Amino acid sequence: MQLKIYKDHDTLSAQVVNEIITVVKNKPDAVLCLAAGDTPRLAYTLLAKMARDEKIDFTHCSFVGLDEWVSIPPQNEGSCHYFLQTCIFDPLQITPSQVHLFDALSKDLEKECEATNKLIVEKGGIDLMLVGVGMNGHIGFNEPGAPFNYDAHVIDLDDVTQSIGQKYFSEPTVVKKGITLGLNQFLQSRKAILMANGLKKASVIRKALEEEIVADMPASIIRMHANGWVMIDEEAASSLKNLRVIQKNAE
């Protein structure tokens, strides 16, 4: 695991963009799985600008959705679909044929999971997974307790996710279940970046990096990833006590 600490969210976001662009330059038909949420929002704005300025070609890339709120339609601005469409796909002019997102309205969510698992295998795996971390340590919607060997699945969202998730919606919205790629797919990705910023993430980052690697703290799995990067700002790193030990273990 690589641990990279940047002075603030702006610098962190710019560096994350560099990583995304490096992956795409090295492999123009890369398969990308990019999280929604507040953490990477600025990075996506910068990505769109840099892609335009430097004429980065995304036309051969594929995008696979990380997760979605079950029963929330894509037109709802709180959905991951809406976020990705407006923050990434529209600005980068990604066509629908390049995108596979979970249909969270599907009557058969198990089939939806199977189709996603199959597509990832057919595409040859995910080249880059960029994830945020929830206040409960979740990655995607892999809530505390989610087994490390799961692929895509439907999950009951825990109370923390249900209440914090309200920040994405314009009105109170019932979100009880999520559909998500699993931690096995996270581990299998060729490169994984866990991104976090701000003081409010300091405690969860400390638990993920300094306590045991356990299912109750899904983000701790980043330490098992063969090419896992933790990219955070100084505020999110501010509760780490054993920085030197973590960095030494990372070598």
Shortest approach of ligand F6R to residue 40 CB, angstroms?
A: 7
How far apart CA 104 and CA 200 sit, in angstroms, is 29
Shortest approach of ligand F6R to residue 42 CB, angstroms?
A: 11
**CA neighbor of 88 nearest in space, from 149, 136, 17, 139:** 17
Active-site residue (options: 19, 67, 127, 235): 67
Indicate which single residue of 132, 137, 182, 228 sits in contact with ligand F6R (rule: CB under 6 A): 132
- Residue 66 is a binding residue for ligand F6R (CB under 6 A): yes
How many alpha carbons fall within 13 Å on the CB side of residue 143? 14
Contacts 24+ apart (CB under 8 A), 239-246: 239/202, 239/203, 239/205, 239/206, 240/205, 240/206, 240/209, 240/210, 241/206, 241/210, 242/210, 246/3, 246/209, 246/210
- Residue 225 is a binding residue for ligand F6R (CB under 6 A): no
- Helix, strand or coil, per DSSP, at residue 43: helix
> What Å distances lie between residue 95 and 61, 70, 89, 104, 138, CA to CA?
10, 24, 7, 20, 30
Shortest approach of ligand F6R to residue 224 CB, angstroms?
A: 18
Does the annotation mark 143 as catalytic? yes
Stretch that binds ligand F6R, among 16-24, 46-54, 106-114, 132-140 (CB under 6 A): 132-140
- Helix, strand or coil, per DSSP, at residue 102: coil
Stretch that binds ligand F6R, among 109-117, 126-134, 208-216, 234-242 (CB under 6 A): 126-134
Report phi then psi at 37, rounded to 5: 115, 175
Which residue lies nearer to ligand F6R by CB, 207 or 247?
207
- Residue 134 is a binding residue for ligand F6R (CB under 6 A): yes
- Residue 138 is a binding residue for ligand F6R (CB under 6 A): yes
Report phi then psi at 20, rounded to 5: -60, -45
Does the annotation mark 153 as catalytic? no
> What Å distances lie between residue 46 and 17, 51, 146, 194, CA to CA?
7, 8, 33, 18
Which residue lies nearer to ligand F6R by CB, 174 or 245?
174
Does the annotation mark 112 as catalytic? no
- CB-nearest residue to ligand F6R: 132
The interface with ligand F6R within residues 74-113 (CB under 6 A) comprises 80
- Residue 36 is a binding residue for ligand F6R (CB under 6 A): yes
**Site residues (CB under 6 A) for ligand F6R?**
35-39, 66-67, 80, 131-134, 138, 140
User: Which residues are known to be catalytic?
Assistant: 67, 136, 138, 143
